[in-house]
Structure 1
């Protein structure tokens, strides 16, 4: 699972030159304002003849997608089917992907950075909004009337973005907030039966996040994900659910898997490096050498120095 920046987003869908990155990122944004842009889905994805398959990644920007067409949305432990038309509120907190289920796909979407909305004079903090909480259902089915309402807001965004009005970005923020508030009034969708696939996906992503931290090749390389809560937060699910899934798929608890992998790396570092025990404890995320020594003894029945010798 990669982290996709706003620049990566343009490259992902259009290639390095196909969509004129400099035009989108320099001329249509301002460092003091943050980045904002709005697109017609059908037109935008035709800027490259090879339409990319959306990968299951964490995107470091916000995206509101008004979707017309059948799509399967996968996020956290859920799989949701947009049957005809819907809207999706994507946040950096929740990795996701959606898979088109039909050839006819249309609609609109806007992308924006946290800095863009933080300039709002309302003093709001975007991550405190209900729709952007990790446990929020961020995709919703729309009826025809709701779709038309959302579509009108996107049309106003598109018109305003091309205008020379001095305060257009203030107005665009208001349009984004209008979409968010409309979204917060919508009813959550039921997850479709896909439990086995969801459990398999979560397990694979967990193992990938864990293994990505290894091998440790420098004494400045410190693991960042150490607890079940760290991993659950990165995956956008509740820690209890992560533990339940791993128990079902591996017969081991989250903490057992994490500690087992850390213990294995500790053995490798003790045998294959000349680092002292304090340095090894540090890179493995232990604040105190004593804590690391006790941890290692529990897993190997030996102290770090006895194991090394």
Structure 2
């Protein structure tokens, strides 16, 4: 049974990566609301039930029908409280939506921002309307129509624009102090960049400034919060995590050192060698030779 489940998840992820889009129906207490392992996919979830959603530094307990927007760059998790859960979920990549002037405003909307509200309370009339859109997406997904991707994009745009006209849910509970919350978000976002899956896809976020930009805060503010909470700077955490990933790649892959350097965001192998030796006391080649 476990092997069958793993195979299903693998096939799901392979299909998602290939097409850039997936819509499916949630039935009973399905894990569908929790499938967001691919870090490069946005998520829209229309659900009816009782749940606790942890998004960035806030926690929302919701009952009834809600519309949820998940941003792959902002850490979130989902706890199902009720015994029955129903609705629809769609996942899509930024590339699938084909970023243009039309969609740029969507990615900058409060629905997908760190300091925004990704959850909307849905009335029965709104639920019926949105259910209809998700059903149409399911039909298009299974059709042989040549331009079905364009139709699905239009449905996604329609859902998002309908959501942007609604009032967001502001019912949430604060957790810890501001520095602790921001640090928790930073550390989870850092961890989401790993593991590195292929040598030809370099690390996206490499510096403290990169993370500050992603979290929409000033780099100095982020660093003060992280240093206050953990005793280490933002850059130290990033360097240690990159170093840890480098060790794993050196020990458990057959990638050459240049490929590893590139995958970790280093423009030249020399920069990687110097970085690695400063952190670990040995060169990448020495570490690999020692573990042979």
> In the alignment, is residue 42 of structure 1 matched against residue 64 of structure 2?
no
Q: Which residue of 2 aligns with 1:100?
A: 80
> In the alignment, is residue 257 of structure 1 matched against residue 233 of structure 2?
yes
> In the alignment, is residue 230 of structure 1 matched against residue 210 of structure 2?
yes
> In the alignment, is residue 76 of structure 1 matched against residue 56 of structure 2?
yes
> In the alignment, is residue 165 of structure 1 matched against residue 145 of structure 2?
yes
Contact 1:71 1:101 in 2 (8 A): yes
TM-fit CA distance, 1:43: 6.9
Instruction: Find the residue that maps to 1:136 and give its secondary structure.
Output: coil
Instruction: Find the residue that maps to 1:70 and give its secondary structure.
Output: strand
1:242-253 paired onto structure 2 within 5 Å: 242=222, 245-246=225-226, 249=229
Q: Which residue of 2 aligns with 1:153?
A: 133
Distance 1:85 1:238 in 2: 32
Contact 2:68 2:120 in 1 (8 A): yes
TM-score, normalised by the number of residues in structure 1: 0.59
Q: Which residue of 1 aligns with 2:7?
A: 17
Distance 1:106 1:232 in 2: 36
> In the alignment, is residue 65 of structure 1 matched against residue 65 of structure 2?
no
Cα 1:83–1:115 change in 2 (3 A) is same
1:182-197 paired onto structure 2 within 5 Å: 182-196=162-176
Cα 1:182–1:53 change in 2 (3 A) is closer
Q: Which residue of 2 aligns with 1:179?
A: 159
Q: Which residue of 2 aligns with 1:132?
A: 112
Shifted more, 56-65 versus 66-75: the winner is 56-65
Cα 1:99–1:200 change in 2 (3 A) is farther
Which of these two proteins has the greater Rg computed from alpha carbons? Answer: 1
Counterpart of 1:114 (choices 94, 97, 103) is 94
> In the alignment, is residue 85 of structure 1 matched against residue 65 of structure 2?
yes
Q: How many residues align?
A: 236
- Unpaired runs of 5+ residues, structure 2, are 195-201, 242-269, 279-292
TM-fit CA distance, 1:261: 6.7
Distance 2:96 2:57 in 1: 30
Contact 1:127 1:133 in 2 (8 A): no
Q: Which residue of 2 aligns with 1:11?
A: none
Contact 1:262 1:284 in 2 (8 A): no
Instruction: Find the residue that maps to 1:84 and give its secondary structure.
Output: strand
Counterpart of 2:121 (choices 128, 138, 141) is 141
Contact 1:64 1:87 in 2 (8 A): yes
TM-score, normalised by the number of residues in structure 2: 0.62
Q: Which residue of 2 aligns with 1:298?
A: none
Contact 2:75 2:185 in 1 (8 A): no
Cα 1:282–1:75 change in 2 (3 A) is farther
RMSD (Å), alpha carbons: 4.4
TM-fit CA distance, 1:159: 1.9
Cα 1:56–1:241 change in 2 (3 A) is farther
Instruction: Find the residue that maps to 2:20 and give its secondary structure.
Output: strand
Distance 1:137 1:42 in 2: 26
